[in-house]
Amino acid sequence: MTGSASRRRLRLLSPPLPEPRGPLSAAVTALLRGADSGSTAPGSVPSPERCSAYGDDLQLALYVLYELHYQGFQGVPDSLEWDGGLLAWRGALERRFLGALRADVPVDATDTARQALDELQLEPVGDDGGVSHFLRDEGGLGHLREYAALRSLYHLKEADPHAWVLPRLHGRAKAAMVAVEFDEFGAGRADEIHAELFADLMEDLRLDTAYGHYVDAAPAEALATVNLMSLFGLHRALRAALVGHFAAVETTSSPGSRRLAEALRRVGAGPAAVRFYAEHVEADAVHEQVVRHDVVGGLLEGEPHLDPEVVFGIRATSHLEDRLAARLLGAWREGATALRGNRPLEAGIRSSV
């Protein structure tokens, strides 16, 4: 077996359940660990309405429940993916999260998806240049390793959450979305799947490539950016918001990836690390136009009433990314780690069979 195949087999094993961060996540993990008892009804735990919508406890509980639809967890029966009790509880957590996003990201009746996407192309000025600017201009190898570890929660399943929208699109929007997703999944080549390319990046940075390995290190701000995709993707009613999220990602990816590739070259990272972001510079510049004109345009051509929901998806994405950026830059500019618990990454760890 080749090294690439070995890494892929190990990385996609179901991870262990993460450590809880409060009563909500403790109740979720306890239910999943004790599923053999036959009950998935929560015990005496606080109402999600009493917990911070963006806090560690609620975001971890939601992340764990969403992961039942992806790789699952060690020792947790696959049959729980569609368990009615867990779905009802997940719904309560989602209502708290979505309600906070609706309140924090208001959409005016005159806002349009075109306008919202144009706003994303305005580069920040001054000292507040964002995470990729910091990493390009002054970040060290340690900052890049932390960034990659946190982003691995999404990039090791890159494009999977967006695939949920495919059965909910039609015509031009569907065809264009499939074309972009085809590229994300390697255009028919397993070793070119973007999740695999990110695992190669992680190996170059001497990070563990096991799926979900860094969830315990991820602060709530990082979990929320991943949860947003699953929230939108798993609800047909939020299909336009998922299209907005996808459009926001593709619109901002090319310039951000260019800066990250430059950052990795500057610190002497290996070629696989540089390649991941270099690959996205050109590919996502093309994807942006396809998504803007054919995915978003095709969706709104058939369902123009969904324009405000596309705007909501775009702006909710920016809102959560801004929160994550504040967490990262706030810590890094103080000379501290941005990881949860202020514990720096272990050095020199790689997955092995």
- Distance, in Å, from the CA atom of 256 to the CA atom of 254, rounded to the nearest integer, reads 5
- Distance, in Å, from the CA atom of 12 to the CA atom of 67, rounded to the nearest integer, reads 13
Angle at 61 between CA 56 and CA 66, to 5 degrees: 125
Angle at 113 between CA 281 and CA 277, to 5 degrees: 15
Handedness of CA 67, 71, 75, 78 (dihedral sign): positive
Per-residue confidence band for 287, with pLDDT thresholds at 50, 70 and 90? confident
Look up tokens 């390319």; give the residue.
197
For the chain, give the number of residues. 353
Mean pLDDT, rounded, of the chain: 89
Please report, for residues 120, 215, 278, 287, the alpha-carbon distance to residue 273 in angstroms, rounded to integers and kept in the order given: 26, 21, 9, 21
Q: Picking from 36-45, 98-107, 163-172, 299-308, which range would have the lowest pLDDT averaged per residue?
A: 36-45
Residue 107 and residue 311 in contact, taking contact as beta carbons nearer than 8 Å: yes
| Residue 292: its H or E element | none
Look up tokens 């939108």; give the residue.
232
- Distance, in Å, from the CA atom of 116 to the CA atom of 71, rounded to the nearest integer, reads 34
Coil, helix or strand at residue 98 = helix
- Distance, in Å, from the CA atom of 346 to the CA atom of 28, rounded to the nearest integer, reads 28
Name the residue type at position 206.
Answer: R
pTM of the model: 0.92
- Distance, in Å, from the CA atom of 292 to the CA atom of 281, rounded to the nearest integer, reads 17
* Per-residue pLDDT at 120: 86
DSSP, res 13: S
Per-residue confidence band for 342, with pLDDT thresholds at 50, 70 and 90? confident
pLDDT 10s digits, 65-79: 999 999 999 999 999
Arithmetic mean of pLDDT, 140-169: 97
Residue 63 or 46, more confident: 63
Coil, helix or strand at residue 269 = coil
- Distance, in Å, from the CA atom of 128 to the CA atom of 180, rounded to the nearest integer, reads 31
In the chain, DSSP finds a helix count (H) and a strand count (E) of: 15, 0
Token pair of 278 as six digits:
């270099």
* Per-residue pLDDT at 347: 54
Name the residue type at position 201.
Answer: L
pLDDT 10s digits, 163-215: 999 999 999 999 999 999 999 999 999 999 999 999 999 999 999 999 999 99
Q: Is the pLDDT confidence value at 319 over 80?
A: yes
